[in-house]
Amino acid sequence: MVEEKAVDQLTLEEAKETIGPLRDQLTQWGKEYYEQDKPTVPDYVYDREYERLVELEARFPQLKTADSPTQRVGGRVTTDLPKVPHEIPMLSMGDVFSLEELLDFNTRQQADGGSDHPFEYNLELKIDGLSLSVVYENGKLVQASTRGNGVIGEDVTANVKTIKEIPQQLNEPLSLEFRGECYMPKKAFAQLNEQREEAGQPIFANPRNAAAGSLRQLDPRVTGHRQLAAFMYYVPEWRKLGVTTQAEALDRMRELGFVVNQTNRVVHSAAEIRDYIDEYTAQRDQLAYGIDGIVEKVNDLATQDELGATVKVPRWEIAYKFPPEEEATIVRDIVWTVGRTGNVTPTAVMDPVQLAGTTVSRASLHNPDYLKAKDIRLGDTVYLHKAGDIIPEISRVDLKKRPADSQPYQIPTQCPVCGSDLVHLDDEVALRCINPMCPAQLKEGLAHFASRNAMNIDGLGPKIINQLWEKKLVHDYADLYQLTDDQLLTLDKFGEKSAANLLTAIDNSRHNSLERLLFGLGIRHVGAKAGQLLAARFKSMDNLMAASQEEIASVANIGPTIGESVATYFANDQVRRLVDELKNVGVNMTYDQPEAGTETAESPWNGRRVVLTGKLVEMTRGEAKQWLEAHGANVTSSVSKKTDIVIAGDKAGSKLARANDLGITVWDEARFAQAMKEEQ
């Protein structure tokens, strides 16, 4: 491959030599990541090479192929989700909540069907996800859609192509629709909420909510990273599949290449139904995916057709829903922990109880707003359940048992680790410690400080930083510049050459221009580009630290969100002491780059009229507005001929319709999120 040249410098012949091997490598990496769960390269390596392929295909469109990774995982939908009519309606199911209700339903169903003997049923687990339709032509996946309102769904074809359980090509050249359930595994759900909580974002309430939001992201790369999965369970036109029972249909779908939940069981009596329910009620907590009940279906497909459906639900199936599992306990304490980005999270400490097969004595309260909304107090009797059958969560407070002398819980104002004043920035729900010297954050901060786009200290990776930290050789960023050869030689696998190389890299970083230091400090919202703009405007660290929030916010493309974050950061006494320490060890505090030209200094959002409509998933509309205004956009409430862009979230209504009528550019949330990332 021709790897050294930039894409815009390649000839067509060089591009041909490059693109084939690159596409093959990305396909292999994607298979390892999505299908085998055994990635062999870090995410940044895949992302870097993926972006190179995107650039190559954009510059040489004649080289793009239908099987390119950009068409499978990385393809991006840049308009509102198209609507898909369901030729055969996707109905919901009726519910029952006890075995008695289920057996009564069966009796009525058999009477309606004119049967003299009990039906044969196929029992299946009720996966806690969202319904999905996939359509194949000659064995090739051509369309995927959500249920929507049962008659019209949303086109999620590009996103579904990232789900490894949905084959791109069937094992037989059939033209058929198949239906199933898209879900988020418990482990993926827990990881996603942990990441969102650390970033100060609202968490998802349950795996189904997380799966729905992920499938409707409109950006297949986001969906792919969310680790969605699917089980298929239904074929509307079953005769074309050559089967006569539901159990046979599941077997045939498995033969075609689908992942089918293999816990189904054909039963003939009330006793067998009871045994199945008891078995999976007991196993529920051990499953890798969430279930919220059991689905009972008449096994004979011809009988299903005869029974038919009401306007809303089929008459041939019913869902037995598990009763909610919760336990009462008493809150004894609320403790606060500091995450790697300074996010300070409250956790309730309670009397231990048995819940869903495990002993639970702690539950995250996520953020101060959540704690206030629930009005949880010390001494309260609360009811616990497990969100997604995995994360302990307080569902409600028993106010009748609240102690007479109860007082509202007071949110702390100082960091529990370092004692610094805590801040609650306007754009997030998290409470944060912004002290760069806080031990709870500092080790992770050192890795960012040394990273390539920050101070660029070559050879100072997380493993070395961990050793330096454990040996108490560094306590803050300034300590890096006082390391000696003798100290480095005490590290594992460090010889004289490696020690000398690292000391040289550290020394070289003293002379970086100011914008690298600003980025390396890890100031909230200050990426590499914002650091460059601030450094270019204020010229020195002293000038920036002396500037008011208003002066910082007035810098082109900075705005009030970054202005508040920077001003709050430098108002901290520990930050000022750190800056003094860095000065004392010779770290450059001035901007020494050429003046930024118009192309660099100006944001593409400057002066653009933007309208926000619909519900955003990854951020609130208020957060989106703040960011847009911080980057020079004019956010308005109505769509007109002067509007430049409409950013449309879920359930966008008349404003989206108006934009389409006027031919105004419409972006979905994924496109907007990518633009935000590019502006960092």
| Alpha-carbon distances of 101 from 173, 270, 317, rounded to whole Å | 43, 12, 13
Are both 379 and 519 inside the same structural domain? no
Query: How far is residue 607's CA from residue 39's CA, in Å, rounded to a whole number?
Result: 43
- What CATH number corresponds to the domain at position 662? 3.40.50.10190
Q: Is the pLDDT of residue 44 over 50?
A: no
Check whether residue 127 and residue 245 sit in a common domain: yes
**Residues 467 and 386 occupy one common structural domain:** no
Do 584 and 627 lie in a common domain?
A: no
Q: Which residues on adjacent β-strands are paired with residue 191?
A: none
Q: For residue 123, give Cα distances in angstroms to 169, 307, 321, 442, 528.
A: 28, 18, 13, 53, 56
SS3 content of the chain, % helix, strand, coil (to 5): 40, 20, 40
Q: Is residue 587 over pLDDT 60?
A: yes
Q: Which residue type, as a one-letter code, is found at position 522?
A: G
Say if residue 381 is in the same domain as residue 445.
no
Asked if residue 619 has pLDDT above 60, the reply is yes
- Domain count of the fold of the chain: 5
Domain end: 306, 321, 336, which one? 321
Residues 588 and 639 placed together within one structural domain of the fold: no
For tokens 């109505």, the residue is: 638
User: Distance (Å, rounded) from C-alpha 515 to C-alpha 518?
Assistant: 5
Higher pLDDT, 680 or 72: 680
**In the listed set 548, 577, 598, which residue is the last one of a domain according to the structure?**
598
Residue 49 lies in a domain: yes
Structural domain contains residue 393: yes
Q: Do 395 and 380 belong to one domain? A: yes
Would you give the DSSP letter of residue 156? -
Shared domain check, 453 and 592: yes
Instruction: Dig out the tokens for 202 from the structure.
Output: 């609202």
For 56-60, 125-129, 205-209, 285-289, which range has the lowest pLDDT when averaged over its residues?
A: 205-209
pLDDT at residue 231, rounded to an integer: 96
CATH label of the domain that carries residue 32: 1.10.287.610
CA distances from 142 to 131, 169, 344, 598 (A): 17, 10, 46, 45
**In a domain? residue 43:** yes
Compute the average pLDDT of residues 308-337. 87
* Domain stops at, among 292, 321, 350: 321
CATH number of the domain to which 394 belongs: 2.40.50.140
| Residues 432/422, Cβ–Cβ less than 8 Å | yes
| Claim to verify: residue 315 and residue 332 sit in the same structural domain | no
Give the residue from 357, 212, 379 showing the smallest Cα distance to 285: 357
Distances (CA, A) of 238 to 166, 262, 296: 19, 19, 18
Q: What is the pLDDT of residues 540-558, one digit of tens each?
A: 999 999 999 999 999 988 8
Within a domain: 623: yes
Quick: pLDDT tens for 376-392: 999 999 988 876 556 78
Residues marked as catalytic: 126
Asked whether residue 427 is assigned to any structural domain, the reply reads: no
SS3 494: coil
Residues in a beta bridge with 391: 387
Which has the minimum average pLDDT: 73-77, 587-591, 644-648? 73-77
Q: What is the CATH number of the domain that holds 450?
A: 1.10.150.20
Mean pLDDT in residue range 526-542? 90
Same structural domain, 391 and 456 = no
CA 27 to chain centre: 23
Q: Which one has a higher pLDDT value, 439 or 511?
A: 511
Same domain, 355 and 340: yes
Q: Which of 176-185, 269-278, 295-304, 341-350 has the lowest mean pLDDT?
A: 341-350
Q: What is the pLDDT of residue 545?
A: 96
Distance CA 430, CA 457 (A): 31
In a domain, residue 409? The reply is no
Q: Which of 78, 17, 41, 13 minimizes the C-alpha distance to 665?
A: 78
Asked if pLDDT for residue 295 goes beyond 90, the answer is yes
CATH code, 102: 3.30.470.30
Structure tokens at 48: 């870097």
Residues 141 and 22 in one domain: no
Q: What was the pLDDT predicted at 390? A: 66
Give me the pLDDT at residue 610, please: 92
Residue 433 lies in a domain: no
411 is a domain residue: no
pLDDT at 45 over 60: no
Residue 662: which domain range? 603-679
Check if the beta carbon of residue 290 is closer than 8 Å to that of residue 356: no
290 DSSP 8-state letter: -
pLDDT for 601 equals: 42
